[in-house]
Amino acid sequence: MSTLLEQLREMTTVVADTGDFESITKYKPQDSTTNPSLILAAAKMPGYAALVDDVLQQAKAEVGPGGSTKNITNTAFRHLAVAFGRKILSIVKGRVSTEVDARLSYDTDATMTQAREIIQMYETGGVSRERILIKIASTWAGIKAAEQLEKEGIHCNLTLLFGVHQAVACAEAKVTLISPFVGRILDWYKKETGQEYKGAEDPGVKSVTEIYNYYKKFGYKTVVMGARFRNIDEIVELAGCDLLTISPKLLGELDASEGKLERKLDAAQASQASIERIEMNKDIFEKMHAENKMANEKLAEGIKGFSDALVELEAYLESRLNQLAAKA
């Protein structure tokens, strides 16, 4: 009998949630996605030291003589994200997601500027923008930035998505893809209620199912990529979703498990469901977001977490830069 991973690939695009090239090569996902935390973890691996050092030298040359260490490390972060992305694209057949600085999550113009810079770096390196998804936090400012970027042919992955209001706003903005965070929704409800949730009753699973069915009911082109799973049961309950981005650990568990995998999400069935349409504008978005305690808290927490990871990554790059200078 085929493994759960093999069966999942027949109904869902499998994406690797990692910056580790070896894991991507092992599990052969269609796409891959990274974030500052994943890049930091990968950058600290001894096998990637040469890549990190090359990026630092490139950033130092770009900033020029007299450039501050802060400017060099900030420039190096973007180059490192693109360097990892280019390497990943040499392994996967599809696309890679590369994240805009989370500290810009509430600044539409700054988000657009950095997204364009990232795309230019890829294109200068010979990579088509069609293979890149720019990851942006699902704030109203981020969604508006993505709406304009999509008009420029820059495809976006709206991340840190926890509520249907965020999903509806993204679809109306015609973004390419959204990443609802299944496991973090579960974490919040377990902490809030003290209850355990399993199978289809998992709040994260229920959230993604609601969003998927809404999109298919009203014919939106935006696709759904469930993310940040806590266990393979969550993945099994979302079989049939457009895409699922999965950590190497859970990919390994799926690859080692056999049994019949049933399709749980179905576009044809969803299109016939009785679902009420939700009107969306900034005022409605902000009202729904304020009323959704879970989404409100998890979005803010996620942005802070990615921002903190960037600070830690920049500190690590600064230490590597100092080591290189000492050797010169």
User: Domain boundaries in the chain?
Assistant: 4-327
Amino acid at the residue 301: E
Collapsing DSSP to helix, strand or coil, 17 comes out as strand
pLDDT band at 39 (very low <50, low <70, confident <90, very high): confident
Residues in the chain: 328
Tens digit of each residue's pLDDT (9 = 90 or more) over 277-294: 999 999 999 999 999 999
Cα separation, 156 vs 145, in Å, equals 10
Q: What is the pTM of this model?
A: 0.93
Cα separation, 108 vs 170, in Å, equals 14
Q: Is residue 11 a contact partner of residue 238, using CB atoms and an 8 Å limit?
A: no
pLDDT for the residue 64:
87
pLDDT band at 91 (very low <50, low <70, confident <90, very high): very high
CATH class of the structural domain 4-327: alpha beta
pLDDT for the residue 1:
77
Radius of gyration of the chain (CA): 20
Tokens of 119: 């795309």
**What is the rounded average pLDDT of the residues 145-159?**
98
Cα separation, 70 vs 131, in Å, equals 30
Collapsing DSSP to helix, strand or coil, 283 comes out as helix
pLDDT greater than 80 at residue 328: no
**What is the rounded average pLDDT of the residues 81-94?**
93
pLDDT for the residue 276:
97
CA 176 to the chain's CA centroid: 12
Q: Is residue 232 a contact partner of residue 257, using CB atoms and an 8 Å limit?
A: yes
Cα separation, 144 vs 131, in Å, equals 22
Enzyme catalytic residues: 135
Q: Is residue 295 a contact partner of residue 163, using CB atoms and an 8 Å limit?
A: yes
pLDDT for the residue 243:
98
pLDDT band at 40 (very low <50, low <70, confident <90, very high): confident
pLDDT band at 69 (very low <50, low <70, confident <90, very high): confident
pLDDT for the residue 48:
87
**What is the rounded average pLDDT of the residues 29-51?**
86
For 194-288, strand residue ranges (E) read: 223-226, 243-246
Tokens of 146: 């993505």
